Chain A
Amino acid sequence: MALLEIDNLSVSFRTDAGRVHAVNNINLHVDPGETLAVVGESGSGKSVTALAILDLLGEAGRIDNGSIQLEGDNLVQFSEADMQRVRGDRISMIFQEPMTSLNPVIPVGKQVAEPLVLHRGASWPDALAAAEDLLKQVAIPDPEGRLDEYPHQLSGGMRQRVMIAMALACSPKLIIADEPTTALDVTVQAQILALLKELTVETGAALILITHDLGVVARYADRVAVMYGGRIMETAPAREIYGNPQHPYTRGLMSSIPDLSGPIADRLPTIEGQPPDLANPPPGCPFAPRCPHVSTACNDGVPPFEWLTPTHGRACVGHE
């Protein structure tokens, strides 16, 4: 059975420009121990999906329909108190900005220990001892000395290690990492992602890795879901999506990144136009206005998601 099963989920936000449908009827699952990468550009709905799983959509956001099953429990029906028991325990989240997602006035040791006190009823001394072990696990030098330090005393990479230690504290079944290394330098990025991957393999946790970086996806993901305009355009095992992309958007995305190996083209292939305005989405496929293979069928309605093989599916009516 899947660890997490998202079925027909839609999320919208109330804004001055009217209701914005950020996520529309998506289906997604994550198996125990696997790394699923959710890829897309700004506004594609990838972060909103993560926030919906944790019920962190805020005042303006709401789940319009669908279910989110974690080990058989439908999180959409959970009360706020129930969700508080889930967050940081069964599911934890690693945010993009290690500068703003740690509390600046609380020592890092206490922040790492807190989930153990809240979820496991540990005493503070025990939890702090465990926090020291966690800091050691994420390869922070001199973990004992670091416990009493404040976030501003640590580098960006070290802060992100603290975030990972915090996320791991209660041995969650699922870790959601939203652009965990986008704010970091490349050498630090490589260290952090290798660490995250190693720890998920060790603890058997599943990982949802939200990113716009197709290199990161290629190195770390088992399976990939490509999002655009609030919908899932294509999903497949990682090798398959790079070797045999079936959606025109996936293909466009792949070819528009300049390559680090292979021949250098004079011009980069581009996807013309701009991403859709989700306050006024196109009637059919959200990618239709930019698609090189667009036909009248594309604007008649949203293309249904179809499985081409048991593990490879796409939402496209094209036959090119």
Chain B
Amino acid sequence: MSNTLLDVQDLKVHFPVTEGVVISREVGSVKAVDGVSFSLAKGETLSLVGESGCGKSTTALAVLRMLRVTAGRIVFDGVDITNLEGKAMRPHRPKMQMVYQDPFSSLNPRMKVRDIIGEPLRVHRPDASKADYQKRVAELLDLVGLLPVMADRYPHEFSGGQRQRIGIARALALEPELLICDEAVSALDVSIQAQIINLLMDLQHDLGLTYLFISHDLSVVRHVSTRIAVMYLGQIVEMNTRDALFAEPRHPYTQTLLQAVPLANPELEAERPQPLIIGEVPSVRNPPAGCRFHPRCAEALPQCATDAPAPRQRGDGQVVCHLA
């Protein structure tokens, strides 16, 4: 039995850009994800970090097969799911579940908590008895630190942190192996965020879950990850173990990101050089030629503008840069 739960090779997700109302024709494409490869070992947490538009959420949706894959290969638990659709995909869906960012819009306001958490069970295990169903809902509420009596309430009766617990309970209903957390703690206040991070880490430990954790918040990522992949304009620019990435970031973009985040410590901040950040993230519709980061890179060489760098192995990780 292999230890790899998920293997993604050269994943591409391109969205067509069309013009014309009556006769629509394709005039180009947005390469939201453009050649992403990574694998996920059982029980580990891989974080995808990057700024808006870097393709981290699109990568997650492609892995869940909620989007059509343009090219590449996704192997989940030994099964190639790249092109599975509809009924063929359904048996694999319980094993991979998602926790969404917004605890307000991701729960149906007209459904009771019991029905929200129980919906995956009704869809995937329609033969279960009513008693088993009630018991499982109570178990799930308990698992995420809510009281079983709360099953009869509606989402608006809960705070943001409690709603996120409901979202997590729903994701756990079918005993998944892979949990994808897409900015799952970003909308929460810091004191509540810490509670949810602890819950996610306890659940991983107790249930042996594997996480694909998507976040723009590097301090949260540092806390939860085994490994980290930094994305920029649809590609992974650097991937390494958590400690190595923070101790020795090799890609200039990773270095920029780390410098840009202020430390919650005025003494350390005063000693730190002010970050030198050039420009803004360009549009994914027209990514720069060569290395996609070169227009913002302080160390760019002439070749960076013309030749796209290939991934290079450095230590336990890899980096996609001519300079590394």
Contacts and interface: CB of A to CB of B under 8 A. Distances in A.
Interface residues of B, number: 42
Contact of B195 (A212, A216, A219, A270): A270
Interface stretch (B123-131, B132-140, B257-265, B316-324): B257-265
B240 to A, nearest CB: 16
Contacts of A41: 189-192
Contacts of B162: 274
Interface centre among A185, A212, A258, by most B CB within 10 Å?
A: A258
Contact of B266 (A187, A218, A253, A257): A218
Given A41-B190, A186-B260, A157 B280 contact: yes
Interface string A226-257: 00000000000011001100000000111011
B264 A218 contact: yes
Given A41-B190, A253-B190, A271-B191, A239 B266 contact: yes
Given A42-B189, A259-B219, A218 B262 contact: yes
A187 B223 contact: no
A264 interface: yes
Interface string A264-277: 11111111101100
Determine the main DSSP class of B at the interface with A. helix
A270 B201 CA distance: 14
A79 B254 CA distance: 52
Nearest to B259: A190
Contacts of A257: 190, 194, 219, 264
Contacts of B218: 186, 260
B198 interface: yes
B263 A253 contact: no
A258 B266 CA distance: 16
A190 B277 contact: yes
Contacts of A259: 219, 222, 263-264
A155 interface: yes
A157 to B, nearest CB: 5
Nearest to A193: B262
Interface in B252-278: 256-269, 274-275, 277
B167 interface: no
Contacts of B150: none
Contacts of B260: 186-187, 189-190
A291 interface: no
B220 interface: yes
Interface of A: 41-42, 155, 157-158, 185-191, 194, 212-220, 238-239, 242-243, 252-254, 256-261, 264-272, 274-275
Interface of B: 51-52, 159-162, 189-195, 197-198, 201, 216, 218-220, 222-223, 246, 256-269, 274-275, 277, 280-281
